[in-house]
Amino acid sequence: MRASVIFLLSMLVALAAGCSNSDDSGQLITRVDIASQEIQSVAISGAEETISIGADLDLQLLANSGNGGSTSVTALAQWTSSDPAIATVSESGLLLGIADGTVSVNAQYGPFSDTVSVRISSAPLVAIAVTAPLEQLNACTSLQLTAEGSYLNEDTPRDITDEVEWQLAEGQQELGSFSDTVDATTGQRVDPAGFLRTTGFGDIQVSASLGDEVPPGVLSLMVLDSLDDGDITISGPDDAITVGAAVPFAAIATFNDGAANVDISDNALWTLTVNEGTAQFASVSNTLPDNGTVIATQTGGGTLSVSCGGVSAERAVRAEIPPSVDRVFISPDEDDRVITVNVDADTIPLRGIVQFTDGSQQDITEDAEWTVDSSGDVRALQLSDSSGTRGVVTINSIGEIEVTMTYERGGIVYDPVVTVRAEVF
């Protein structure tokens, strides 16, 4: 704990002195936030015992806090290699094998550090083996495969799953795929290397290759025809989707082997057709990780469909521009801003209401913040802002309080006020 406190103080002082422009201010906030988590230790992840010359490792440094959580501090750490002639390591933790030998890689973050040992080898690859935890799987499900490389004069195979090129046999692309899609937000792969997504059924052959010197590793799998008509349903909002919003839908499957409520959205093919005479009002994504997400650009209606393993499902969708807010008020206020109750009443439940321009209403009691003016008779009437009882006023004696409900919607803050008065009737 003492090291954590000292580290936090030193980070605050050093970073405040080093950040002199607006670009640095974001880094200051990030680093101070991480330092304030009372880090107990750090650990390097992603290391392997041996890699080949020319191969790389994307090392990560995780900071472990006292509450059991961990945070990546990879970009904030100082990375060093004991011998850059054998392997180099970048500021972002990317290790690159250069020559035969063993290096110690150290990552320093404040008073904390961790070290791993990695051997760089020029031993030639002699064979590739592909393994899987299952020999058969249901259509439209996924399976993580592993590739192991055997190297000359090495007793233990290396995990080369991230290094090989994964493929299905020619003509089997309709049965499944390997994705190398990168999430635009995180910059990380959506699926790990060797992650097979099946879309059809039948016998499939998977291969993992690394250059032309060694034959690829091959594995045969059986993908079962385990879906019947009606076994896929589309889940999503029952009401109309809002124009401009990204709305996720999910494809849920029940298989013949009894497996139920299986989300196959990312393996399925999604389509959206518009109603006759309607303009193209929306689109649906078939790109990971947003498969099944519908974005409407204008009002309209159509049919959302999904298909996988020879089975399909569909449902109607429509897009609307929602009505705007007409007013936000506290019920049972009748616009006179004063609610009078009998002192003999135990409680009075106040409700937060949004009224829209089309006349419809929405209860926002639990979504709002309820506060009372401290100058009122807060002992005579007590207001709750606890989940499940928000807006409930408990009446203890004669008196009055001023209640404010604060609610934010669409960047606008609404804060209606009412006076609750307890009297003897």
Q: Which residue in 203, 175, 189 sits closest to 267, CA to CA?
A: 175
- pLDDT value at residue 33: 46
Is pLDDT of 5 > 60?
A: no
pLDDT of 363 strictly over 90: yes
Residue 375 — very low, low, confident or very high, per pLDDT cuts 50/70/90? confident
Q: Greater confidence, 341 or 80?
A: 80
Confidence (pLDDT) at 250 = 98
Whether the predicted pLDDT of 6 surpasses 80: no
The yes-or-no verdict on residue 2 having pLDDT over 50 is no
Give me the CATH topology for the region 325-423.
Answer: Immunoglobulin-like (2.60.40)
Q: Is the pLDDT of residue 296 over 70?
A: yes
Residues 178-227 pLDDT 10s = 998 888 777 778 899 999 999 999 999 999 999 888 999 999 999 999 99
Share of the chain above pLDDT 70, in %: 90
Task: Say whether pLDDT at 22 is over 70.
Answer: no
Instruction: For residue 422, give the nearest of 391, 394, 389, 403 by alpha carbon.
Output: 394
Instruction: Read off the pLDDT of residues 302-352 as tens digits, 9 standing for 90 and up.
Output: 999 999 999 999 999 999 998 899 999 999 865 668 888 898 888 999 999
Coil, strand, or helix at residue 417? strand
- Neighbour count for residue 387 (Cβ, 10 Å): 7
Q: Is the domain covering 232-320 a CATH 2.60.40.3440 domain? A: yes
pLDDT digits (tens, 9 = 90+) for 392-405: 999 999 999 999 99
Confidence band of 21 (pLDDT split at 50, 70, 90)? very low
CATH 2.60.40.10 domain residues, the chain: 129-224
Selected residue with higher pLDDT from 24 and 77: 77
Average the pLDDT over 278-301 and give the result.
93
The predicted pLDDT at position 425 comes to: 80
Phi and psi, residue 165, nearest 5°: -100, 125
CA distance 223 to 140: 9
Query: What was the pLDDT predicted at 277?
Result: 82
pLDDT at 81 (0 to 100): 97
Q: What pLDDT score was predicted for residue 88?
A: 97
Mean pLDDT for 391-420 is 93
Class (C level, CATH) for 129-224? mainly beta
pLDDT greater than 60 at residue 1: no
CATH of domain 37-121: 2.60.40.1080
DSSP output for 214-279: SPPEEEEEEEE----TT-EEEE--SSPEETT-EEE-EEEE--TTS--SEE-TTTSEEEEEEPTT--
pLDDT, the chain, mean? 88
Q: Where in the chain is the domain with CATH 2.60.40.3440?
A: 232-320
Residue extent(s) of CATH 2.60.40.1080 domains in the chain? 37-121, 325-423
Which range is most confident: 21-30, 33-42, 397-406?
A: 397-406
Nearest residue to 128 (alpha-carbon basis) of 208, 196, 220, 195: 208
